[in-house]
Amino acid sequence: MPEIDDTFAEAFPMRGTRLVITAVDEELVKIAASEFCGNASSVIGCDAEAGVERYLEPDQTLDGRPGVAVLAFAFDRDSLEKAVTARVGQNVLTCPTTACYAGMRADRRKDRIKVGSQLRFFGDGFQFSKKLDQQRFWRIPVMDGEFVCEDVVGTVKGIGGGNLLVCGRTQSETLAAVRAAVSAINELEDVILPFPSGVVRSGSKVGSKYKPLKASTNDKWCPTLRGQTESDLKSDEQAVYEIVIDGLSTRAVANAMKVGLEIMQEKAGVLRISAGNYGGKLGPHHFYLHQLDDPNCGVQR
């Protein structure tokens, strides 16, 4: 069994939302979701963090077609609105047969972002709206018919940066372990793994010797730098991968970390599981690895 460090993953507040994208078939749904979630791994250099939450059967969507639920996160409501609207406009509106609906709703105006109400102007005056059950939808004429998009989408206070650091004996064994954990976490609701394949090879620290950079390689966890820096690695740890988790609640993030940790405890070659933090200076959400079952784990301090 691998060692579990007595430490915590340090996460930070974000604003999150869920969108439901539908299309005439699963192939187009997957393409639209992939394009929407492109270049959205880290807000260090991206406008948002986004990922597929789950795929939906036709009986689970508003228009009875195949669908996908995607989650998107940004630092605040205005940033989230800008990123989501741009991504829907560039990557969903343009994809054949798609529609876009709110995956969550909110009563208070300050908890909503405008999506369809901004994209409607693409209709150049030919767009029109329709209300169903107090929800407004915009129908925007396009060359294969109409693009239907919900007027506003709800948002919630989310969590970014839940994480696990996995130290292994070899690259291949460690990668196999984190892939198994990613597969299990991807079955959960209310969380996403925003990085490519759900796995991070380039873990970062805050700041850099180069002033323009906000972040740089986490040298303490790089095996090739063991003799050149104050390493956190033990002698037999030759590969490290990180799993980063964004979620709609602290409970969702803690549960995802727990599921991933339990999977990797059973995998060959995993020597130690730790977590990334900066002594509490980065964010107020602290997910202690030995307390993931605690209902208050990760609650803002």
Asked whether 87 and 80 are in contact (CB, 8 A), the reply is: no
For residue 69 the two structure tokens come to: 């639920």
Q: Which of 95, 49, 25 is nearest to 196 (CA)?
A: 49
Say how far apart CA 29 and CA 77 lie, in whole Å.
26
Query: Degrees (nearest 5) of the Cα angle 4, 6, 8?
Result: 100
pLDDT score at 239: 98
pLDDT digits (tens, 9 = 90+) for 23-50: 999 999 999 999 999 999 999 999 999 9
pLDDT score at 300: 84
Asked whether 174 and 167 are in contact (CB, 8 A), the reply is: yes
pLDDT score at 262: 98
Ranges of residues in the chain whose predicted pLDDT is under 50? none
Say how far apart CA 123 and CA 139 lie, in whole Å.
8
Please tell me the class of the 15-156 domain.
alpha beta
- CATH topology of 3-11+159-291 equal to that of 15-156? yes
What are the residue ranges spanned by the domains of the chain? 3-11+159-291, 15-156
Collapsing DSSP to helix, strand or coil, 174 comes out as helix
What is the model's pTM?
Answer: 0.95
pLDDT score at 134: 85
pLDDT score at 206: 86
pLDDT score at 157: 97
pLDDT score at 278: 84
Residues 6 or more apart whose CB falls under 8 angstroms from that of 14 comprise 43, 49, 73, 74, 75, 157, 158, 159, 160, 246
Say how far apart CA 282 and CA 278 lie, in whole Å.
6
pLDDT score at 133: 85
- Per DSSP bridges, beta strands 3-4 and 270-274 are parallel
pLDDT digits (tens, 9 = 90+) for 138-189: 999 999 999 999 999 999 999 999 999 999 999 999 999 999 999 999 999 9
pLDDT score at 123: 98
**Which fold does the domain 3-11+159-291 belong to in CATH?**
Alpha-Beta Plaits (3.30.70)
